[in-house]
Amino acid sequence: MGAPMSSAAGAIGRSIRSLHRALRDGELSSTTLCEEVIANHGRVGDGLQAYKTWAPERIGLAARAADAAFAAGADLGAFQGLPVSVKDLYGVPGYPTFAGTPKALPEKWQRPGPVVKSLGASLAVITGKTHSVEFAFGGVGTNPHWPTPINPWGAGEHHVPGGSSAGAGVSLVSGTAVLALGSDTAGSVRCPASITGTVGVKTTYGRWSRDGIVPLSPSLDTAGILARTAQDAAIGFAAIDPLIAASPLEFASLAADCAADEFSIAIADWFFDDCAGDIADAVKAAIDELGRAGARVGAIELPEAPRAHDIFLHGGLAAPEFAAFITGEMADWRKTLDPNVASRFARMEAVSAVEYLHRARDLAELARAAHARLDDADLIVCPTVSISPPTVAAVAEADAYRQANLAILRNAAPVNLLGLCAVTIPVALDGAGLPVGLQIIAPGGEDERAIAAAAAFERVLGTARERLGVPPRCPD
């Protein structure tokens, strides 16, 4: 594998596998690694505004604890001593949870769930809480209450980072984390990963516990990760996943052994409709490369995708479930909601119980039909995000924001609504010099297949650093 996507100098730019080995061989200490993390936060202008809560003293304490465990001969897991950022929806002891709101949520939301506990048990170093769109309700990445993370690929302008895990991808590219925890309800891991040139894993609904994560839509929310490479993502996935029996490094090695010619990939035209021409061309060029490497490329009809998208355009399940949460437990936070959300609140509340149940029934039927179509193909591949990331200024007006939000989430949301899983990998820069992601979609429950395909495709196409280069905002 080539060098991972990180422009930061020093050890932090190495792959997770390399860092894992260096920490255990005594070539590197977690303290030294995390000193680089802290230095990088300053090097790129406050970490490119990735973090809501940044606590360097806590980073140092956690790194020293990991080093002490190594010195005592204790190896507690693949992420011992490695820096991991956490989206500010997850409970982390000692860190307030804002969920993108202007004031901290009740203390109960600091309690960790199984995902955070799995990393904490291995003495991973939490670098901080990354910015989230308010209550995760949006795919653009802006938030009126807090600074919008800076997309490092925007050379002269502040382009959006994607949402709702807005700071997650930025934390990776800025050299302040090697893994980032995010969540995905309609694309909130994959969209920021695609937009920042990183890898994003949207797990199958229910595979990872949602406990300890502030909810948006209990029927659709999934925990997920972002990483710099598919190989790093494979290690991160296996370290957290409750079903993987192999060690994280063994699982990643198995994924690395897969070749592109082991996969049949299908193209559904709908995902290319309304897609910017340069983005569609870039993804098709990547698919052609995979075909030349032996992947079997064909076409698939997937009418369930536009039908699910139409339900999404009318609020899907997320809007009424979010409205119930805000008018109930979070009623004190309603009056300060982002105007882009508050302006739609009346429509969210107006969804009747009958309409909600009809939507849930229709989506269940569509999901069954979509899975049946995938009996004849291993994967569907398509652009992850169909437009170039706009500037923050371009989405300042409400209607422009709404249009950008729908466009960014267009190809991602049907994956959630149809019960599928997916991984996005970076494959190109668009005409504006901003990253383009290739979305790899697999049936629900076939997360391992999607990750193995991502690793195989990365071997053909190259890592982000090899294929895209170094972001202008992050000096090499």
**38-58 burial: b if 16+ Cβ within 10 Å, else e:** bbbbebbeebbbbbbbbbbeb
Beta pairing, strands 264-267 & 379-383: parallel
Instruction: Quote the tokens at residue 195.
Output: 């937009």
Active site residues: 87, 164, 188
> Residue 57, CB half-sphere, CA atoms under 13 Å: how many?
2
Q: How far is CA 120 from the centre of its chain?
A: 20
For 4, 92, 97, 238, 456, the CA distances from 81, given in Å and listed in that order, are 18, 17, 23, 17, 28
> Residue 291, CB half-sphere, CA atoms under 13 Å: how many?
13
Helix runs in 424-473, H state only: 447-461, 464-468
Torsion of CA 6, 12, 18, 23, to 10 degrees: -170
Alpha-carbon Rg for the chain, nearest whole angstrom, is: 20
Residue 454 Rama label (left phi>0; alpha psi -120 to 50; beta): alpha
Question: What value, to the nearest 5°, has the Cα angle with vertex 36 and ends 167 and 66?
Answer: 90
Burial class (CB in 10 A: 0-12, 13-18, 19+), 324: middle
Helix (H) or strand (E) holding 239: helix 230-240
Instruction: Quote the tokens at residue 369.
Output: 């039909």
Instruction: Quote the tokens at residue 86.
Output: 């956490």
For 106, 271, 361, 373, the CA distances from 366, given in Å and listed in that order, are 38, 17, 9, 11
Beta pairing, strands 296-299 & 379-383: unpaired
Report the length, in residues, of the chain: 476
Q: Strand, coil or helix: what is 348?
A: helix
Rounded to the nearest 5°, which phi and psi values hold at 211?
-60, 140
